[in-house]
Amino acid sequence: MFPEKEVFLMRKIFKCRDIGNNCEYQVSGNSEEEVLQRVSEHAKRAHNMKTISKELADKVRTAIYTLF
């Protein structure tokens, strides 16, 4: 019964390639929100996106997978 530890051990992984970009960028975080935040910063810098549309955010969420 250590739910907090379980949460800590779960890693959310996202690869830019998984949403169709020819890009080696990969990010991990403890939560979907954390990953999404980093991905949006990356998208702005590397892919010249000024804003992250809801569509893109949904795409990213779908592509994020959990590593236990």
User: Does residue 63 touch Zn ion according to CB under 5 A?
Assistant: no
- Three-state SS sequence of the chain: CCHHHHHHHCEEEEEHHHHCCCCCCEEEECCHHHHHHHHHHHHHHHCCCCCCCHHHHHHHHHHCEEEC
> Minimum Å distance from CB 19 to Zn ion?
8
* Of residues 32 and 56, the one with the C-beta less far from Zn ion: 56
> Minimum Å distance from CB 11 to Zn ion?
19
Q: Which stretch binds Zn ion (CB under 5 A): 6-14, 30-38, 40-48, 57-65?
A: 40-48
